[in-house]
Amino acid sequence: MEATKQKGRETLQQAILAERERITQMQWDMDELCRKYSEMESNLKIEQVAFSSLSCGLVILLAI
């Protein structure tokens, strides 16, 4: 009976460790996604400014 309890505890500990590792990996993945999102958002803003400047330039050229 005691051996069965010990085996059950070990199995539970292994399951807890595996779950902690899975959660840690998910946190790393989320951090990476947040970093990529911020980078893409920054690039989009830069492109919007460049497009806005280009559009303004075209309007001035068309007005001439």
Alpha carbon distance 14, 55 (integer Å): 61
Burial 10-44 (b: 16+ CB within 10 A, else e): eeeeeeeeeeeeeeeeeeeeeeeeeeeeeeeeeee
Please report which helix (H) or strand (E) contains residue 23, including its range. Answer: helix 2-63
Q: What pLDDT is stored for residue 49 in this prediction?
A: 82
- 58 — pLDDT class (breaks 50, 70, 90): low
- Is 59 a residue whose pLDDT tops 80? no
Q: What is the pLDDT of residues 3-57, one digit of tens each?
A: 899 999 999 999 999 999 999 999 999 999 999 999 999 999 888 887 777 666 6
8-state DSSP, 1: -
Alpha carbon distance 18, 16 (integer Å): 5
